[in-house]
Amino acid sequence: MGNKYREAGVDYDVLDRAKRETLALAKQTAAYPNYLGATVDESSFGESASLVDLAGQKLGFVIECLGTKSMIAKSYFDMGGEDRFFDIAYDAVAAVVNDLICVGALPIMVNAYFATGSADFYLQPYAMSLAKGWQAACSDSGAAWGGGESPTLAGLVEKDGVELAGSAVGKVPDGVLPLSGSRLEPGDEIVILYSSGMHTNGASLARKIASNLDHSYLTPLPSGTAFGAALLEKSIIYVDSVRDLMTKENILHYASHITGHGIRKIMRADRELTYRLHKLPPVPEVLEFMAGLESMSDFDAYATLNMGSGFALYVKAGMGEKVCETAASHGKSAIVAGVVEEGPKRIIVEPLGLTYDEKELLIR
């Protein structure tokens, strides 16, 4: 796996090694803010978000980015497609807050980072769509949009491009345990919440595929939807489902946002456990189309794209169906997909007859 991505300019092996070295340096700084009454939860280093205890209140903190999906929105618009910049801003917030809630912190504030290659970006008809999408996503996350930064980086960011990123600070509700891999137990049920499509992972690959298609992003999928329109279906924000489960019953133990590395993120926790999946969500048409054009094996496709799985919740044994009902109450599709078992760190995907071993996910 990984060759497809390497061709598209993303070399995860190199990236992952640098990440690990950097993580080691970061860990050495943990005690610096103790004088403010802040205690960094060192077990959260390398998790989706960082946790800090501040005089008894547990804060989560994260920075995330959209990747290159904005280039798809730009190209699709330039080819005569709709303005989908609202959707990509929504995506960027989703990338941020869906990471934040993996530690059980509910977003308080999300700040925006829009870097352009030229200030002329703000003269484009779609410029304000970004702000509107950001605001809508903050609304769906229950977060305030506190501000942000919008640098013009001529020569560093592509001339007509815009790069979206964001950061968030959140809070674990009082009296509720943060989510952590250390809380996983054999017998926990794995609930998978569906994705709406590509979400924010796979944009480089999608761009490469589009460049090889005669009609690029205007190529119709079997359903008739244009490839670009399908790619730009906005991500799902899972905050409401996690919020409802962050109660003093503590039935939610852990959560994983399925992004880069696809379904391998199911084994994100730093634990020696086996994750057995006996059911999978339906595959969004656009991801099936991409995997098919790239002649990806199931193994590669599920290790690269989300293939329908947007977010995983690990809940107390016997609570899976109830959690699916909670998700449904927010209009979200979910299935009890599997179970956590004693055993070596791996994912057994029964419907596909596949196993992903620990070595397939060296970076968490």
Touching a copy of itself, residues 27-46 (CB under 8 A): 28-33, 35-38, 40, 44-46
Q: From the list 104, 166, 284, 308, which residue makes contact with a copy of itself (rule: CB under 8 A)?
A: 166
Distance CA 200, CA 3 (A): 19
118 touching a copy of itself, by CB under 8 A:
yes
Distance CA 271, CA 306 (A): 22
117 CB-near residues (< 8 Å, 6+ apart)? 152, 153, 154, 155, 156, 157, 158, 159, 160, 161, 162
149 touching a copy of itself, by CB under 8 A:
yes
Stretch that binds a copy of itself, among 132-140, 262-270, 317-325, 329-337 (CB under 8 A): 132-140
Distance CA 73, CA 229 (A): 9
Phi, psi of 149 (to 5 degrees): -140, 135
223 touching a copy of itself, by CB under 8 A:
no
**Residue corresponding to tokens 């946002």:** 257
Q: From the list 65, 79, 177, 221, which residue makes contact with a copy of itself (rule: CB under 8 A)?
A: 65
Q: From the list 2, 43, 79, 152, which residue makes contact with a copy of itself (rule: CB under 8 A)?
A: 152
19 touching a copy of itself, by CB under 8 A:
yes
175 touching a copy of itself, by CB under 8 A:
no
Q: Whose Cβ is closer to a copy of itself: residue 11's or residue 249's?
A: 11
Q: Whose Cβ is closer to a copy of itself: residue 151's or residue 282's?
A: 151
Tokens coding 196: 């709406």
Closest approach of a copy of itself to the CB of residue 64, in Å: 6
282 touching a copy of itself, by CB under 8 A:
no
331 touching a copy of itself, by CB under 8 A:
no
DSSP-derived 3-state class of residue 22: helix
13 CB-near residues (< 8 Å, 6+ apart)? 2
Stretch that binds a copy of itself, among 67-75, 223-231, 296-304, 315-323 (CB under 8 A): 67-75
Length of the chain: 364
Closest approach of a copy of itself to the CB of residue 105, in Å: 10
Buried b (16+ CB within 10 A) or exposed e, 36-58: eeebbbeebbbbbbbbbeeeeeb
Pairing of strands 346-349, 354-357: antiparallel
101 touching a copy of itself, by CB under 8 A:
no
Stretch that binds a copy of itself, among 12-20, 179-187, 267-275, 283-291 (CB under 8 A): 12-20
Distance CA 192, CA 202 (A): 19
Closest approach of a copy of itself to the CB of residue 185, in Å: 26
Q: Whose Cβ is closer to a copy of itself: residue 138's or residue 226's?
A: 138
Q: From the list 1, 85, 90, 163, which residue makes contact with a copy of itself (rule: CB under 8 A)?
A: 163
Tokens coding 218: 């205007």
Is the dihedral angle over the CA atoms 302, 305, 307, 310 positive or is it negative? positive
91 touching a copy of itself, by CB under 8 A:
no
147 touching a copy of itself, by CB under 8 A:
yes
Instruction: Outline where DSSP puts E strands in the chain.
Output: 38-40, 50-54, 57-65, 106-116, 144-149, 162-172, 189-194, 252-257, 273-277, 309-315, 334-342, 346-349, 354-357
23 touching a copy of itself, by CB under 8 A:
yes
Q: From the list 171, 276, 322, 330, which residue makes contact with a copy of itself (rule: CB under 8 A)?
A: 171
Q: Whose Cβ is closer to a copy of itself: residue 143's or residue 312's?
A: 143
Stretch that binds a copy of itself, among 165-173, 267-275, 283-291, 316-324 (CB under 8 A): 165-173
Closest approach of a copy of itself to the CB of residue 194, in Å: 25
Q: From the list 59, 97, 313, 319, which residue makes contact with a copy of itself (rule: CB under 8 A)?
A: 59
